[in-house]
Amino acid sequence: MKFKLLHTDPNSKARAGIVHTAHGDIETPVFMPVGTIGSVRGVTQPDLEKDIKAQVILGNTYHLYIRPGMEVLEKAGGLHNFMNWHKPILTDSGGFQVYSLSPTRKIKENGVEFTSYLDGSKHFFTPESVLDIQLIIGSDIVMPLDECVSLPAEHSYVRKSVQLTHKWLKTAKDYHDNRPGEKKQMLFGIIQGGTYADLREESAKFVADLNMDGNAIGGLSVGEPAEEMYAMTDKVVPFLPHDKPRYLMGVGTPDNLLESVALGIDMFDCVMPTRNARNGWLFTKNGIVNVRNSKWKDDFSPLDPDGESPVDLFYSKAYLRHLHMCKELLGMMISSIHNLAFYTWLMQEARRHIIAGDFATWKTEMVKKVTTRL
Amino acid sequence: MKFKLLHTDPNSKARAGIVHTAHGDIETPVFMPVGTIGSVRGVTQPDLEKDIKAQVILGNTYHLYIRPGMEVLEKAGGLHNFMNWHKPILTDSGGFQVYSLSPTRKIKENGVEFTSYLDGSKHFFTPESVLDIQLIIGSDIVMPLDECVSLPAEHSYVRKSVQLTHKWLKTAKDYHDNRPGEKKQMLFGIIQGGTYADLREESAKFVADLNMDGNAIGGLSVGEPAEEMYAMTDKVVPFLPHDKPRYLMGVGTPDNLLESVALGIDMFDCVMPTRNARNGWLFTKNGIVNVRNSKWKDDFSPLDPDGESPVDLFYSKAYLRHLHMCKELLGMMISSIHNLAFYTWLMQEARRHIIAGDFATWKTEMVKKVTTRL
């Protein structure tokens, strides 16, 4: 078993579990910092391990394929060695970036053709090739090629797209299963279907039936209202097996995470904590701080007296504000560590409350707190 | 005594000493990382202390005066508290930035009028006001207002300028000496004179006679050939007292530092190690590495096997190259730590050889090494 379900909250669908990977265990629910191109932006690998306490990070296959490229990654012996990070890594399939970064991509029956954002060179991703690429990357959890539809989209288009994603998933699963040697990588399935409940249900059933190592929900958090995202998640989860991890891709704010944990989700990733950090936007246990606000100008109290990382007591709000006003790198560095450490804490604390049996009441209170504007 | 001279090299003018400041001792020769605006770019305060082993950092009065401004710095209780750095700080007078950042400045008999690069507001620096500003900043070593002439310049212009700088220095010294209370700050004098030997000599004598806490050489390393800088330094040093620290402002490359130590200089500052780091330019014991060069593409050996900071063994050349090619913040962070740790090491090693009595031969060999292109 690659996933062990430990507890389910009696008053919600929230779960606590453990994912066993080739590079160690991941306690769920978990947030995965995004290390797009072999680096979680603005933080060091020792920061990730010691100050942020990240259990797993995410890499983007598309970006890594473009730079440093497969030759370098293969010679390095994979991404873990290349970046000197020896805890678990999950990689996406590259599909999402093909759609978002290469406007001229062409979707064909057997894959997707796209031009590199870097030099305009032509490339072709297939369900098989993205697994080959992720094998070289050496990630512990790999994702299959899917089509990620921009919302809103017509039902007929999404339906066709879901069918293609399913076909590619079947191809990927067969390719993965028939590869010789020990299976060190976990291959997840991705459920698509836009915001159409019937398509989401159809997709959830199809993916669940394939008995993947885990089940992901893709194509959400792409601009639709949060309520719609929760509705789709709630629609999908009942069809997913209890003994497999569930991953809601690209989500989200602290309250998005808490609400989705309550709906039965185990894993998350998002650029928000790091991207917002670089603009001086801090998530804390007591609410959101826009540190550029002039109200912090001469507030010399610690950045976050209740914070979970060393930066929180070491630097003051006024100093961090100054750094952001001057666009100093240190401001981005401090804020990134803070936000990621907060996200780690939030998921570990959720886990603690799930195990203690009082998650639902804690969650309601916490959602109020983390959405407060300080 | 605020400076103790410990050793002088028998075969050069190189010296080893200790500067005693209100925030601790500084072993010389020493390189001071530049923390322009309350942050040494791309490195944290714990990095500075633990990995770089910086003994003292430099702050820019002009920048700090503009942002965060004196009100915030005064409320913070000075720059040490504001940035949570409790080792020595030296601040420049703001003069250099007035000339380089405010093209519309007007030099008057009693000071210099300039407009803020940030919002165009008008300001006036006098010999007295820059000391008041630095008193609020709370730096351990403060610099007097001077005029820094762009080279090349006419002898007649430089002569007039030197006289003004001398007049301002006398005003500053009187103001400093007559201020009530304990003198916690050391006030240095600045020798000007462009590349005119006669003016440099005149200035050195004038400044030396004022019995300042230390003597700085300004207005060099502004584009003139290194040989001319060494010639001017060599011209000036014989007139400076042995029992006061000597500071060559804004210098320089590793070989500039070594040659200048041999001429009797004790203190340096320069943005080069951090600025060049951000472009992937590393200084090492064995030479200069442009890590963006494609030759490092698949060199997975440690960044610097002989390096002095933890990053040197933790990250590989190939990985650092990748980070720089992708303009990842981590590339700038790693390189900045490396370069600053190297500069610290270089000055500590020079000190060791001065004390051991073999500085001159070591220096000749080291200059060859550090100027090699790897």
Q: How confident is the model over A217-243, as a mean pLDDT?
A: 95
Residue A104 pLDDT level (bands cut at 50, 70, 90): confident
**Chain B nearest CA to A83, separation (Å):** 6
pLDDT of residue A99: 81
Q: How far apart are CA B343 and CA B309, in angstroms?
A: 11
pLDDT of residue B236: 97
In this predicted structure, the answer to whether residue A151 has a pLDDT above a threshold of 90 is no
Quick check: B145 and B172 in contact, CB under 8 A?
Answer: yes
Question: pLDDT of A121-137, one tens digit each?
Answer: 999 999 999 999 999 99
Residue B103 pLDDT level (bands cut at 50, 70, 90): confident
Among A44, A297, A322, the residue with its CB nearest the CB of B38 is A322
Mean pLDDT is lowest, of B50-54, B218-222, B238-242, B271-275, for: B218-222
In this predicted structure, the answer to whether residue B1 has a pLDDT above a threshold of 80 is no
Q: How far apart are CA B139 and CA B97, in angstroms?
A: 18
- Residue B189 tokens read as 């004098």
Question: pLDDT of A169-212, one tens digit each?
Answer: 999 999 999 998 888 999 999 999 999 999 999 999 999 999 99
Q: How confident is the model over B92-104, as a mean pLDDT?
A: 83
**Closest Cα partner for B194 from B167, B171, B228?**
B228
In this predicted structure, the answer to whether residue A100 has a pLDDT above a threshold of 90 is no
**Closest Cα partner for A334 from A304, A305, A298?**
A304
- Beta strands B186-191 and B141-142: pairing type? parallel
- Interface ipTM: 0.97
Question: pLDDT of A44-72, one tens digit each?
Answer: 999 999 999 999 999 999 999 999 999 99
In this predicted structure, the answer to whether residue B102 has a pLDDT above a threshold of 80 is no
Query: Buried b vs exposed e over B289-315: b needs ≥16 C-beta within 10 Å?
Result: bbbeeeebbbbeeebbeebbbbbbebb
Q: How confident is the model over A232-249, as a mean pLDDT?
A: 98
Quick check: B321 and A321 in contact, CB under 8 A?
Answer: no
Among B45, B315, B323, the residue with its CB nearest the CB of A84 is B315
Question: pLDDT of B351-374, one tens digit each?
Answer: 999 999 999 999 999 999 999 999
> H or E element: which one contains A190?
strand A186-191
pLDDT of residue B171: 98
pLDDT of residue A236: 97
In this predicted structure, the answer to whether residue A352 has a pLDDT above a threshold of 80 is yes
pLDDT of residue B322: 98
By the CB < 8 Å criterion, does B329 face chain A? yes
In this predicted structure, the answer to whether residue B57 has a pLDDT above a threshold of 90 is yes
Backbone Cα Rg of chain A: 20
Question: pLDDT of B205-226, one tens digit each?
Answer: 999 999 999 999 999 998 899 9
> H or E element: which one contains B59?
strand B57-59
Locate the domains of chain B by residue range. Answer: 3-271
In this predicted structure, the answer to whether residue B62 has a pLDDT above a threshold of 90 is yes
Residue B122: count other Cβ atoms within 10 Å of its Cβ: 10
pLDDT of residue A101: 78
Is residue B213 helix, strand or coil?
Answer: coil
Indicate which residue of A47, A51, A269, A312 is catalytic.
A269
In whole numbers, what is the pLDDT of chain B averaged over residues? 96
pLDDT of residue B339: 98
Q: How far apart are CA A103 and CA B161, in angstroms?
A: 60
Residue B131 pLDDT level (bands cut at 50, 70, 90): very high
Q: Topology of B3-271 in CATH?
A: TIM Barrel (3.20.20)
Q: How confident is the model over B247-262, as a mean pLDDT?
A: 98
In this predicted structure, the answer to whether residue B306 has a pLDDT above a threshold of 90 is yes
Indicate which residue of A92, A213, A266, A312 is catalytic.
A92
Contact A330 B75 (CB under 8 A): no
Contact B41 A330 (CB under 8 A): yes
Residue A178: count other Cβ atoms within 10 Å of its Cβ: 7
Question: pLDDT of A296-349, one tens digit each?
Answer: 999 999 999 999 999 999 999 999 999 999 999 999 999 999 999 999 999 999
Annotation says A9 is catalytic:
no
Contact B41 A329 (CB under 8 A): yes
User: Chain B partners of A85 at a C-beta cutoff of 8 Å?
Assistant: none
By the CB < 8 Å criterion, does B72 face chain A? yes
Mean pLDDT is lowest, of A111-115, A287-291, B316-320, for: A111-115
CATH 3.40.50.410 fits A3-270, yes or no: no
Q: How many Cα atoms sit within 13 Å of B312 on the Cβ side? A: 19
User: Chain A partners of B314 at a C-beta cutoff of 8 Å?
Assistant: 45-46, 84
Question: pLDDT of B255-292, one tens digit each?
Answer: 999 999 999 999 999 999 999 999 999 999 999 999 99
Task: Quote the percentage of chain A above a pLDDT of 90.
Answer: 92
Contacts of the segment A305-309: beta carbons below 8 A, 24+ positions apart: A307/A338, A307/A341, A307/A342, A308/A341, A308/A342, A308/A344, A308/A345, A309/A51, A309/A52, A309/A337, A309/A338, A309/A341, A309/A342
pLDDT of residue A182: 83
pLDDT of residue A102: 73
Contact A41 B298 (CB under 8 A): no
Q: How far apart are CA A8 and CA A188, in angstroms?
A: 22
Angstrom distances, CA of residue B114 to CA of A100, B164, B239: 48, 17, 34
Residue B177 pLDDT level (bands cut at 50, 70, 90): very high
Q: How far apart are CA A213 and CA A26, in angstroms?
A: 14
Q: Which residues 6+ apart lie within 8 Å of B6 measured at CB?
A: B15, B16, B17, B18, B355
In this predicted structure, the answer to whether residue A95 has a pLDDT above a threshold of 90 is no
By the CB < 8 Å criterion, does A368 face chain B? no
pLDDT of residue A105: 87
The residue in chain B having the minimum alpha-carbon distance to the alpha carbon of residue A35 is B328
Residue B54 pLDDT level (bands cut at 50, 70, 90): very high
Is residue A370 helix, strand or coil?
Answer: helix
Question: pLDDT of B14-28, one tens digit each?
Answer: 999 999 999 999 999
Mutation target for A interface from B40, B322, B332: give the one with most A CBs within 10 A: B322
Annotation says A119 is catalytic:
no
pLDDT of residue B181: 84
In this predicted structure, the answer to whether residue B190 has a pLDDT above a threshold of 80 is yes
User: Chain B partners of A84 at a C-beta cutoff of 8 Å?
Assistant: 314-316, 319
B residues 279-308 lying closer than 8 A (beta carbon) to A: 297-298, 300
Residue B150 pLDDT level (bands cut at 50, 70, 90): confident
By the CB < 8 Å criterion, does A84 face chain B? yes
pLDDT of residue A333: 98
In this predicted structure, the answer to whether residue A97 has a pLDDT above a threshold of 90 is no
In this predicted structure, the answer to whether residue B186 has a pLDDT above a threshold of 80 is yes
pTM for the whole structure: 0.97
Quick check: A322 and B38 in contact, CB under 8 A?
Answer: yes
Q: How far apart are CA A48 and CA B239, in angstroms?
A: 53
pLDDT of residue B217: 98
Task: Quote the percentage of chain B above a pLDDT of 70.
Answer: 100
In this predicted structure, the answer to whether residue A147 has a pLDDT above a threshold of 80 is yes
**Closest Cα partner for B84 from A278, A291, A302, A46?**
A302
